[in-house]
Amino acid sequence: MNKRYRIFSLFITSILILAMLSGCVNTGSTPQEKTFNYGTMAYGVAMGNVGLNPHEGYSGWSTIRYGVGETLFKFNESMELEPWLATDYEQIDEYTVRINLRDDVTFSNGNKMTGEAVKDCLENLIAVHDRAPSDLQIKSIEADGQSITITSNIKVPGLVNYLCDPYGTIIDMEAGVTEDKNVVGTGPYIATRVTDTEINLISNDNYWNGEVIVNNINVKSITDGDTLTMALQSGDIDAAQGLPYVSLQLFQDDPDYTISSTNTSRLYQAALNFRSKLIQDDAVREAMALSMDKEGFTSVLLQGNGSPAIGPYPANFTFGGDAVRADEYDIDKARDILEDAGWIDSDGDGIREKDGKRLTIRWLTYTSRQELPLLAESVQATYKEAGIEVLVNATDNFRDFLQSGEYDVYASAFVAAPTGDPQYYFTTHVVDGSDYNRGYYRNDNVEKLVEKLREEFDTERRSGLAVEIAQQVLDDRAYIYASHLKMSFVMRNGVAGFTAHPSDYYEITSKLDIDK
Amino acid sequence: MKDTNAMEVSSKGFLNIKKEKTAYFKLYLLCALTGILLLVTFFSPKLVPFDPYEQNLSEALQGPSNAHLLGTDRFGRDMFSRILVGGQTTILTSLLLVGIITSVGTAVGVACGYKGGKFDSFVMRISDIFLAFPGMVFAIAVASLLGGGIMNAVIALACISWPKYARLARGQVLSVMNMPFISAARLSGSNSMKIIIKHILPNILGTILVTASLDIGTIIMELAGLSFLGLGAMPPTPEWGSMMSNGRSMLQTSPWTVLAPGFAIFVTVMLFNLLGDTLRDVLDPKTKM
Amino acid sequence: MIAISFFCNQHSMLYRKRGFLLVKKFIFKRLIQIIPIILGITFLSFALMHTAAGDAVDTLYDSNSSGVSEQIKEERRAELGLDQPFMVQYSKWLKGVLTGDMGISYISGKPVFETFISKLPATIYLMLTSIVLTLLIAVPLGILAARYRNRLLDYCIRFLSFMGNSMPNFFVSLLLIYFFALKLKVLPVMGYGRSPLVSVILPTLTLTISMASKYLRQIRVTVLEEMNKDYVLGGKARGIRDNVIFYRSILKSSMLTIITLLALSIGSLLGGTAIVESIFMWDGVGKLAVDSITMRDYPMIQAYVIWMSFIYVAVNLIADIAYQYLDPRIRLNQED
DSSP codes joined into one string, C12-48: -HHHHHHHHHHHHHHHHHHHHHHHHHHHHHHHHHHHH
CB < 8 Å from B in window 252-291 of C:
264, 267-268, 270-272, 274-275, 289-290
User: Where residue C5 falls among pLDDT bands split at 50, 70, 90?
Assistant: very low
Task: Count chain A–chain C contacts defined by CB atoms under 8 A.
Answer: 147
Digit-coded pLDDT (tens) for C163-210: 888 888 888 888 888 888 888 877 777 754 567 778 888 889 999 998
Alpha helix segments (H runs only) across chain C: 2-8, 13-51, 56-62, 70-80, 86-98, 112-147, 152-165, 169-176, 196-199, 201-227, 230-237, 242-245, 251-280, 285-295, 298-326, 328-333
> Other C-beta atoms within 10 Å of C179: how many?
13
* Measured distance between the N- and C-terminal CA atoms of chain C, rounded to whole angstroms: 25
Rounded to 5°, the CA angle A242-A243-A247 comes to 165
Q: Is B235 close to A377, i.e. CB distance below 8 A?
A: yes
- Candidates C227, C213, C205; CA nearest to C141 is C213
Separation CA A240–CA A254 (nearest Å): 15
Q: What's the gap in Å between the CA of B126 and the closest CA on chain C?
A: 8
The angle, 0 to 180 degrees and rounded to 10, between the axes of the packed helices C251-280 and C112-147 is 130
Q: Is C275 close to B229, i.e. CB distance below 8 A?
A: yes
- Left (φ > 0), alpha (ψ -120 to 50) or beta: where does B257 sit? alpha
Separation CA C97–CA C309 (nearest Å): 15
Q: What's the gap in Å between the CA of A265 and the closest CA on chain C?
A: 11
Separation CA A135–CA C109 (nearest Å): 23
Residue C334: per-residue pLDDT: 44
Residue A458: per-residue pLDDT: 87
Separation CA C280–CA A137 (nearest Å): 44
Q: What's the gap in Å between the CA of A131 and the closest CA on chain C?
A: 7
pTM, rounded to two decimals: 0.81
Digit-coded pLDDT (tens) for A201-219: 999 998 999 899 999 999 9
Phi and psi (nearest 5°) for A30?
-70, 155
Residue A256: per-residue pLDDT: 93
Residue C191: per-residue pLDDT: 58
Digit-coded pLDDT (tens) for A121-139: 999 999 998 888 888 889 9
> Is A161 within 8 Å of A422 (Cβ atoms)?
no
Tell me the mean pLDDT in the region A147-166.
91
> In terms of CA atoms, which chain A residue is nearest residue B254?
A246
Helix (H, G, I), strand (E, B) or coil at A264: strand
Cis link prior to B236 (omega < 30° from 0)? Answer: yes
Q: Which of C171, C242, C275 sits opposite B13 (nearest CB)?
A: C242
Cα dihedral sign for A153, A155, A160, A166? negative
Separation CA C77–CA A170 (nearest Å): 28
User: Where residue C8 falls among pLDDT bands split at 50, 70, 90?
Assistant: very low
Q: What is the CA radius of gyration of chain C?
A: 24
Residue C7: pLDDT over 60: no
Q: Which of A29-33, A339-343, C128-132, C181-185 has the lowest mean pLDDT?
A: A29-33
Residue A157: per-residue pLDDT: 86
In DSSP terms, which residues pair with A217 in a beta bridge?
A36, A201
Chain A residues whose beta carbon lies within 8 Å of the beta carbon of residue B55:
377-378, 381-382
Separation CA A321–CA A349 (nearest Å): 38
Q: What's the gap in Å between the CA of C39 and the closest CA on chain A?
A: 26
Separation CA C143–CA C247 (nearest Å): 10
| Mean predicted lDDT score pLDDT of chain C | 76
> Other C-beta atoms within 10 Å of A304: how many?
16
What dihedral do alpha carbons B93, B98, B99, B102 form, nearest 10°?
Answer: 160
Phi and psi (nearest 5°) for A260?
-115, 115
Tell me the mean pLDDT in the region C312-330.
69
The burial of A506, by beta-carbon neighbours within 10 Å (0-12 exposed, 13-18 middle, 19 or more buried), is given as: middle
Helix (H, G, I), strand (E, B) or coil at A175: coil
How would you write the pLDDT of chain B (289 residues) with one tens digit per residue?
344 444 333 433 344 445 567 777 888 888 888 888 888 888 888 888 888 888 877 788 888 888 888 888 888 888 999 999 988 888 888 899 999 999 998 888 888 877 778 888 888 888 877 877 777 777 777 766 666 678 888 888 888 888 888 887 887 777 777 777 777 777 777 676 776 677 777 777 777 887 888 788 888 888 888 877 777 777 778 888 888 888 888 888 888 899 999 889 888 888 888 888 788 777 765 433 2
Separation CA A319–CA A324 (nearest Å): 8
Residue A502: pLDDT over 70: yes
Residue C328: per-residue pLDDT: 56
User: Where residue C325 falls among pLDDT bands split at 50, 70, 90?
Assistant: low
Separation CA B77–CA B53 (nearest Å): 7
> Is C80 within 8 Å of C106 (Cβ atoms)?
yes
- Candidates A81, A170, A155; CA nearest to A125 is A170
In DSSP terms, which residues pair with A491 in a beta bridge?
A239, A258
Chain A interface disruption, residue of C190, C205, C304, most A CBs within 10 A: C190
> Other C-beta atoms within 10 Å of A399: how many?
17
Digit-coded pLDDT (tens) for A279-327: 999 999 999 999 999 999 998 888 888 999 999 999 888 898 899 999 9
**DSSP code of C218?**
H
Separation CA B78–CA B63 (nearest Å): 10
Q: Which of A301, A368, A392 sits opposite B74 (nearest CB)?
A: A301
> Is A312 within 8 Å of A470 (Cβ atoms)?
yes
Tell me the mean pLDDT in the region A270-277.
93
Separation CA A238–CA A252 (nearest Å): 16
Task: Count chain A–chain B contacts defined by CB atoms under 8 A.
Answer: 73
Residue C17: per-residue pLDDT: 54
- Neighboring chains of C (3 or more beta-carbon pairs < 8 A): A, B
| Residue with more model confidence, B197 or A255 | A255
Residue C53: per-residue pLDDT: 56
Residue A49: pLDDT over 80: yes
